[in-house]
Structure 1
Amino acid sequence: MPTPDALSRAAAAVVDLYRAGAEDFIARRSLGLFERPWLDRMLALTPPGRVLDLGCGAGRPIAAYMARQGRSVEGIDASEALLAAAAEALPDQTWRCADMRSWSPETPGAGVIAWHSLFHLRPAEQAALLTRIGGWLVPGGVLMFTSGGTAGETLGDWSGAPLYHASLDPDGYRAALAAGGLAVSAHVRDDPSTGDATIWLARKGG
């Protein structure tokens, strides 16, 4: 069991890991688009307009798929190297170098996706961000994100370095979403088709 100090250090180091390990991340990132059924499910609910991709990485495969479906994409990531790769692959889309914890869009979007990115934040940061995301969406806008299956903090491994992950419990996620005016449309825990990811779809009222 990681100590509180180890968890704090690892949480603070996530951005630096993705900056230093951009090439490794790109090499390892699956482009098989196993996420497609969920992306299609999200798009079927999402009104016309742009999609915000939080933790967009190098833009492939998720932002690229959204663009192929006719959506404009605004990708947000804290790694300059990953964003450079995204801009090279998808030059017609918009890319922002920013920390999702402090960034806000200039105008609301139709959808927000945070696939395997939100869970690198500490639990309180996740709750605060989910509530803020409600203000980033137009009425009827849709959020999709992944989380762990149970509440807690843990450390994975990235080339020998500890990689921080955390999750709230389901009630905590529902409360944070409700505080932002979002109602849960779907919640599937440990979906085997996505490598046992836990997936949430939520929609803004209006």
Structure 2
Amino acid sequence: MPPADALSTAAAAVVDLYRDGADDFIARRSLSLFERPWLDRMLALAPPGRIIDLGCGAGRPIAAYVAGQGRAVEGVDASEGLLAAAARALPDPTWVCADMRTWSPATPAAGVIAWHSLFHLRPPEQAALLTRIGDWLVPGGVLMFTSGGAAGETLGDWNGAPLYHASLDADGYRAALAAGGLEVAAHIRDDPSTGDATIWLARKAGA
């Protein structure tokens, strides 16, 4: 594991990396929609209503696909440049510039997607946010997110700068979800169809 001070510095710099590197992120982001089977599964499970794309980036392909399925979309990201690109390409969704660690929606939603975004937060922040998301959802609402495959913190590379990633273990995620009133509906570790992403699908009781 990298030194603690390096991890702390990199974790604090994630938002700035995506702000400063918005154009590069857009250029690199795959639009092949390999996420589609999981998006379809999530939308089939979610009740009617809007979907929050948490860490939406430039809105393509995930928010664009969800909107194309007839859902209202609220995209949230801390990068002004990514959101500006999203608004140019997709004027209908609502785009919100905010830090997911402190933001909350004005009204409950039918679903929340956090695809390759939650894992940029430190483990305690992830746990706290997952628990809060339970309050964001209507009864029967659905959350889908990706995580690392095992507990730990690591540094990737973003144009030569360290890019922070972290994960809880499976029990930690289950506990955080349960604290928010969410039950795991599906979970797969290292799904080869999504580039070995670890995927969680959880549902709020009460529908």
TM-score range normalised by the length of the shorter chain: over 0.9
Cα displacement string for residues 137-194 of structure 1 (whole angstroms, at most 9, x for unaligned residues): 0000000000000000000001100000000000000000000000000000000000
SS in 1 for 2:202: strand
The residue type paired with residue 51 of structure 2 is: V
Residue equivalent to 1:3: 3
Residue equivalent to 2:170: 170
SS in 2 for 1:113: strand
Alignment of 1:187-206 (within 5 A): 187-206=187-206
Distance apart, 1:83 and its partner CA: 0.2
In structure 2, distance between residues paired with 1:142 and 1:185: 9
Distance apart, 1:56 and its partner CA: 0.2
Pairs aligned (count)? 206
Distance apart, 1:130 and its partner CA: 0.1
SS in 2 for 1:32: coil
Alignment of 1:66-105 (within 5 A): 66-105=66-105
Residue equivalent to 1:24: 24
In structure 2, distance between residues paired with 1:93 and 1:10: 31
Distance apart, 1:70 and its partner CA: 0.2
Alignment of 1:150-169 (within 5 A): 150-169=150-169
List gaps (5 residues or longer) in structure 2: none
Distance apart, 1:49 and its partner CA: 0.2
In structure 2, distance between residues paired with 1:181 and 1:112: 14
Distance apart, 1:114 and its partner CA: 0.1
Task: Give RMSD over aligned pairs.
Answer: 0.4
Q: Does 1:108 align with 2:108?
A: yes
List gaps (5 residues or longer) in structure 1: none
The residue type paired with residue 103 of structure 1 is: W
Residue equivalent to 2:138: 138
In structure 2, distance between residues paired with 1:164 and 1:124: 14
SS in 2 for 1:5: helix
Distance apart, 1:2 and its partner CA: 0.8
Distance apart, 1:15 and its partner CA: 0.1
TM superposition score normalised by structure 1: 1.00
